[in-house]
Chains A and B, each alone.
Chain A
């Protein structure tokens, strides 16, 4: 039916007529149509809907009075988040150690089996101390916190709390020049930044959507919590009594997250005052009724859809990463392993930022997925050393502090770097898919990295000036 070169007569007539009528009707055509629709809707609903006596006090309204209150709303939100972190830290510690012990026992048995079969040392090493160990670390470090964090998050989502978060944060985002729904996309980022970037489609205005996409990375995703939690537990909370320690660790992670939200707002404000100038657009946000979460679905969504999905992704990157780390640790040049060469080379650079060469190397290896940062650091540090005996927090701390000279400054800057640095490869690819723009994708990838190095540099220099670290 498609005709090249000319438009069929009736079509042209129709379009002409329509255009003429359109001009005759003047402005506000759509408003009149919408009015007609509303009028009919009201009439029809009036005939078929019956509002009974309210038997009880409206519980939703009562809860919202507190949840959305200008005084309690924000603190309640922060407290809830803190509670989730606390539960995650408390609940994940023991299972993590159990898992590590079990998985490294398997490594030892595998090694023995290979030795018994007469496999060459490099094969045993590559398979068991490389690939398998990478896998084991990722599972041990990530799985338990995810199994607690994701269900908690899903409960809040099912309950209807997320739109309320957006409501509470709306004024902040408006001030920063972003869209109020950015609070929603940011919340999704807590689960996974790639998902958060996709969720930005809920924002209609292209300018505000771009701001939301570019800043989503500043809230830590699930791949980064394990890093934050582990460092908070090992360093910040180490000096406290066991009961206080988990609360201190949760408070630390919470502080980092709040810093992330503040960074989101600052960067959004900077973007909307420079390259993405414009006014914040108004929008209506529907606050849905609270719904009782269905337990079966929560378990399913959070464990299968989220936990397993994220874990599988981590596992897929841990396998090649484990192989690379083993190779770096076992291929020697001039008697020293390549890993040492690289980290020594990076060391003076890393020092300026309060980090060390191994951390930078780990972040390079972990570009595909942030989940493997801590496992990579530990694998490089521990080298060929067997991990079957004791993997308690004390011994990990000992390795980091006594053998590799980590200080509180290293810990703080590692957490800051983890919070602010470039998004993982999946998120970068998602940014590209969503924006189809090389320029914005590059900004989204490189901008955070610059900010991360900048902040770490300032913190490190200031700390050293004050004689701390």
Chain B
């Protein structure tokens, strides 16, 4: 079986790809929402697909092009959340955070959107460059479920695209929205979860301090939340400076992806 047993998983991106590609796109989502199908449809690769949850165990990588620009696409393992310490969640979360993707596509299952939104909301806490791909629209329709993409877009503050990846429907729109986010043409205002009294206050007290340590970090709030949860990985990233490096790179203007020289200079 030609599983991609690459040894690359778990290792954050090394920045080299920034020079080779015009952007790096991560694919996240709950298990069995058709992430690998989206991946295959966009890259033309044939990553193993199958109708069972948990099948993508390693990080698969491919590329796609749009208007003469080449983007790298990374298929992350399917997860229900990013809060626990299981291996796949660690891989997915570390990549979204430390891999600094230019855009993260969260693939959601239209037939059970509510549950899938839990992950979407978590990704929105980590990154503001997100596109939500509501997949399996045909299956939802068959079950009499309609998703209002416009309303969802308003609530989430990021682009929402409805797709049926198996037949390729909606994928070109997905790509153009993703590129829009990467190139900064599309401004996002990601929804932030209402944390309630006690937690909310503790988080807002920590956020300025996180900003001081790692200025420009788009997800200071999330880092604060993780610290309050006692996440050793985040502590470590603060101690060894990994997070502030992420912040430095985030500050590079979005246009630098099409201007490789400028980017090299900024590093």
Interface residues of A (CB under 8 A from B): 1-3, 7-8, 10-11, 13-15, 17-18, 21-22, 24-25, 29-30, 32-34, 36-42, 44-55, 58, 154, 157-163, 181, 184, 188, 191-192, 194-195, 198-199, 201-202, 204, 285-286, 288-291, 294, 297, 300-301, 304-306, 309-310, 430, 433
Given A11-B239, A13-B209, residue A33 in contact with residue B57 (CB < 8 A): no
Given A14-B238, A42-B114, residue A21 in contact with residue B144 (CB < 8 A): no
Question: Is A40 touching B194 in the complex (CB atoms < 8 A)?
Answer: yes
Question: Is A18 touching B206 in the complex (CB atoms < 8 A)?
Answer: yes
Cβ contacts under 8 Å, A192 to chain B: 1
Closest B-chain residue to A292, C-beta based? B166
Question: Is B49 touching A301 in the complex (CB atoms < 8 A)?
Answer: yes
Given A2-B241, A29-B229, A309-B2, residue A301 in contact with residue B46 (CB < 8 A): yes
Cβ contacts under 8 Å, B155 to chain A: 44, 47-48
Indicate whether B225 reaches chain A with its CB closer than 8 angstroms: yes
A47-B148, A49-B146, A159-B51 are known; give 16 further A-B pairs, CB within 8 A: A2-B240, A14-B227, A22-B227, A24-B202, A29-B229, A33-B195, A38-B118, A41-B121, A47-B151, A48-B152, A154-B50, A162-B51, A195-B3, A201-B58, A309-B2, A310-B1
**Bound form: Cα–Cα A15–B198 in Å:** 19
Given A17-B206, A49-B114, residue A291 in contact with residue B46 (CB < 8 A): no
Question: Is B87 touching A201 in the complex (CB atoms < 8 A)?
Answer: yes
Cβ contacts under 8 Å, B156 to chain A: 44
From 22 to 67 in chain B, residues with beta carbon under 8 angstroms from any chain A beta carbon are 31-32, 46, 48-55, 57-58
Cβ contacts under 8 Å, A50 to chain B: 145-148
**Bound form: Cα–Cα A286–B31 in Å:** 9
Residues of A contacting B: mostly: helix
Q: From B46, B120, B152, give the contact of A305 (CB < 8 A).
A: B46
Given A10-B213, A18-B206, A286-B32, residue A51 in contact with residue B152 (CB < 8 A): no
**Bound form: Cα–Cα A184–B50 in Å:** 12
Closest A-chain residue to B153, C-beta based? A48
Given A15-B238, A202-B57, residue A45 in contact with residue B198 (CB < 8 A): no
For B117-150 the 0/1 string (1 means CB < 8 A from A) is 1101110000000000000000100011111110
Indicate whether B205 reaches chain A with its CB closer than 8 angstroms: yes
**Bound form: Cα–Cα A13–B149 in Å:** 43
Given A192-B1, A309-B2, residue A300 in contact with residue B46 (CB < 8 A): yes
Question: Is B210 touching A14 in the complex (CB atoms < 8 A)?
Answer: yes
**Bound form: Cα–Cα A194–B113 in Å:** 35
Question: Is A157 touching B54 in the complex (CB atoms < 8 A)?
Answer: no
**Bound form: Cα–Cα A308–B235 in Å:** 47
Q: From A18, A36, A52, A204, give the contact of B199 (CB < 8 A).
A: A36
Indicate whether B230 reaches chain A with its CB closer than 8 angstroms: yes
Closest A-chain residue to B148, C-beta based? A48
Interface residues of B (CB under 8 A from A): 1-3, 5, 31-32, 46, 48-55, 57-58, 81, 83, 86-88, 111, 113-115, 117-118, 120-122, 139, 143-149, 151-152, 155-156, 166, 191, 193-196, 198-199, 202, 205-206, 209-210, 212-213, 224-225, 227-230, 235, 238-241, 244-245
**Bound form: Cα–Cα A17–B202 in Å:** 10
* Cβ of A45 to closest chain B Cβ, rounded Å: 4
**Bound form: Cα–Cα A14–B48 in Å:** 44
Q: From B52, B139, B202, B225, give the contact of A162 (CB < 8 A).
A: B52
Closest A-chain residue to B5, C-beta based? A198
* Cβ of B174 to closest chain A Cβ, rounded Å: 18
Question: Is B2 touching A25 in the complex (CB atoms < 8 A)?
Answer: no
18 A-B interface contacts by CB (under 8 A): A1-B244, A14-B212, A15-B239, A17-B209, A25-B202, A37-B193, A41-B118, A46-B114, A47-B151, A50-B147, A54-B143, A154-B50, A162-B51, A181-B54, A194-B1, A201-B88, A291-B166, A306-B1
Question: Is A17 touching B205 in the complex (CB atoms < 8 A)?
Answer: yes
Q: From B46, B57, B139, B235, give the contact of A199 (CB < 8 A).
A: B57
Question: Is B83 touching A305 in the complex (CB atoms < 8 A)?
Answer: no
Cβ contacts under 8 Å, A25 to chain B: 198-199, 202, 228
